[in-house]
Amino acid sequence: MLVGRALVLSSLVGVVAGAGAIAFQVLTQFAQHELLDRLAGYRPEGPTGDYVLFAPTDTPFRPLLLPLLAALGGLLAGLLIYRFAPEAAGHGTDAAVEAFHRNNGRIRGRVPIVKTIASALTLGSGGSGGREGPIAQIGAGFGSFLATQLGFSDRDRRVLLAAGVGAGVGSIFRAPLAGALFAAEILYSDPEFESEVVIPAAIACIVAYRVFSLKFGFGALFSTPRFDFHSPAELIPYTVLAVVVALAAGLFVTVFYRTHEVFDRLRTPKWFKPMIGGFGTGLVGLALLLTLRDERALAVLAFGYGAIQDALVGSLSIPLLLAIAFGKMLTTSLSISSGGSAGVFGPSMVIGGCLGGVVGLLAQRVMPEVVTQPGAFVIVGMAGFFAAAANTPISTLVMVSEMTGNYRLLLPALWVCALAYLIGRRWTIYRSQVRSRLESPAHRERYFVDVLGDLKVGSLLGERPLHTIPQTAPLSEVIQAFATSSQQQFPVIDDRGEMTGILSVNDIRQLLDQDHASGLVIAHDIATRPVVTLSTADELNTALMRFVARDVEELPVVTPEDPKRVVAMVSRRDLIAEYNRRRLERMKLAEQANA
């Protein structure tokens, strides 16, 4: 993509993503105000950086209505999704990753609109989920639409789609740098970046962040005390935290997809299932409220960001933190795996932050002279949990730092993210991820050429005998050569052994029924000239292009020193077999390196 075009189009994607983030934020707050606040009297606490658009009502708290409202939101979302865009179900970032790898970056234009409204209904009625899914699809959908309308290549469409994902996430979480890195990192489960995405995504993220912040203000999403990393001894409890969040991430992924399997087996209409999931979500929240007698336990509903803010200042007890963490796993699975619509990044922050708070409080009891700020473990836990759940250690590290405005914990956060990622590489919440560019259908053709580009035609030459035909050979001898050999092309040579032409079955087919020609025609008369050859020094990608251009199965091979003397015949089948063998070797080496 040209520089000027990339700047203009990425900026345009950023404008739409930022505006979409504003629209989604307004819709979600409106739905929460009308459903949870006006009807049930429940007003979820949010982070301090959130700008509240609607004044609270005076409706008294009616907790028994929460399961019914969540069910209503699930029903409305299900009807909307399965009527207009079934692919809008679930968490939208995974759908964007799927489109990048397997659909040439194409997303139907209606999907972002349906996703936005359905997610606002799901979250506004108490369903558990995050913001990044719908916002990612708004940006990705517009990037895909723009590239398609302008007739761009599949490659450019994929770049703009990924830039849209980053712009949406970076704007609504006020983390533009992390959004750009997230767009490049989320595509693969191995530690690999889609490098051509980074700069367009960075431009889109900056613009989207500016647009969104014009309405909702600049600054970090969460306010935090001044946390610092004081002593290398703190890495001991941080190591424990890495193990805890990595294993918890594995549990979350398992519960999430097992719940998905349960709902898949239900013999009810698909549009009805989100209502069941919503009702179950409300019941979990109500049960925790009645058990713990603390309204803050309802952080398992909706976004739940208030729990993070409370945990940062140490106002939540260990039992309450554990209840929110594991309850959030269940409610998120019920809300999204049933076919509802929302993201999984937000719930991951809540789960990881609560578990980090538990480890921090326990570590302070065991090592009070070392762990003086248990709230710091909340921030690091947020980063470590999602790094393990999504295989995105770098962008998550930056994301959490930008969301909290705290960069003094980069060292322990990097330590925890790296360890959690290594422990959790067996699972991922984004099943559309592929391991690396080599395994992405989007890059398969390019990697085919790249693998071949490392090899020379000379590497294909084996011990298969070469059959040639003297240029003075009569037609009967030519026919006999084709009948007795598996070779499909025959070089025609003169008495010095130099190639003067080449013969194929097509060259002699028209003479087969002409008996009088057998004594008059010689090989030189019907040979094709000039001859397209391959050199032993040619790269295999050059050979592939010549095979395709000539539409033949075999080509003669010569040496650079003597371009008129044929030394072998190479077939298209030989080339593909060598490619497969070398690719298998690369995959085995990659597996050994990752073991």
Question: What CATH number did the domain enclosing 336 receive?
Answer: 1.10.3080.10
> At residue 467, does pLDDT exceed 70?
yes
Quick one: pLDDT band at residue 539, thresholds 50, 70, 90? confident
Instruction: Report yes or no: 332 and 347 within 8 Å, Cβ to Cβ.
Output: yes
pTM above 0.85, yes or no: no
The pLDDT score that the predictor gives to residue 454 is 65
- Whether residues 379 and 479 share a domain: the answer is no
Instruction: Report yes or no: 66 and 301 within 8 Å, Cβ to Cβ.
Output: yes
User: Does 426 map to a domain?
Assistant: yes
Instruction: Tell me the mean pLDDT in the region 441-453.
Output: 63
> At residue 494, does pLDDT exceed 60?
yes
Q: Which of 75-84, 136-145, 550-559 holds the top average pLDDT?
A: 75-84
> At residue 109, does pLDDT exceed 90?
no
Quick one: pLDDT band at residue 456, thresholds 50, 70, 90? confident
User: Does 587 map to a domain?
Assistant: no
* More confident position, 456 or 587: 456
- Whether residues 326 and 244 share a domain: the answer is yes
> At residue 523, does pLDDT exceed 90?
no
The pLDDT score that the predictor gives to residue 418 is 95
The order of strands in the sheet holding 554-558 is: 534-535, 554-558, 566-571
The pLDDT score that the predictor gives to residue 159 is 92
- pLDDT tens profile 240-293: 999 999 999 999 999 999 999 999 999 999 999 999 999 999 999 999 999 999
Q: Which of 320-329, 334-343, 548-557 holds the top average pLDDT?
A: 320-329
| Calpha distance 290→367 (Å, rounded) | 34
- Whether residues 245 and 208 share a domain: the answer is no
User: Does 592 map to a domain?
Assistant: no
Task: Annotate 136-169 with three-state secondary structure.
Answer: HHHHHHHHHHHHHHCCCCHHHHHHHHHHHHHHHH
| Calpha distance 389→381 (Å, rounded) | 12
Q: Which domain holds residue 35?
A: 3-216
Quick one: pLDDT band at residue 449, thresholds 50, 70, 90? low
* More confident position, 239 or 446: 239
* More confident position, 26 or 4: 26
Question: Residue holding tokens 């578990």?
Answer: 355
- Whether residues 419 and 511 share a domain: the answer is no
- Whether residues 252 and 302 share a domain: the answer is yes
> At residue 579, does pLDDT exceed 90?
no
- Whether residues 265 and 344 share a domain: the answer is yes
User: Count of domains in the chain?
Assistant: 3
Question: Residue holding tokens 């935290």?
Answer: 241
CATH number reported for the structural domain that contains residue 523 in this entry: 3.10.580.10
Q: How many Cβ atoms sit within 10 Å of the Cβ of residue 247?
A: 15
Instruction: Tell me the mean pLDDT in the region 124-141.
Output: 89
Name the average pLDDT for the chain.
88
- Whether residues 424 and 467 share a domain: the answer is no
Q: Would you list the DSSP string of 189-243?
A: SSS---HHHHHHHHHHHHHHHHHHHHHH-SS-SS---------GGGHHHHHHHHH
* Dihedral sign from CA coordinates of 9, 10, 15, 21: positive
Instruction: Tell me the mean pLDDT in the region 538-563.
Output: 82
The pLDDT score that the predictor gives to residue 446 is 59
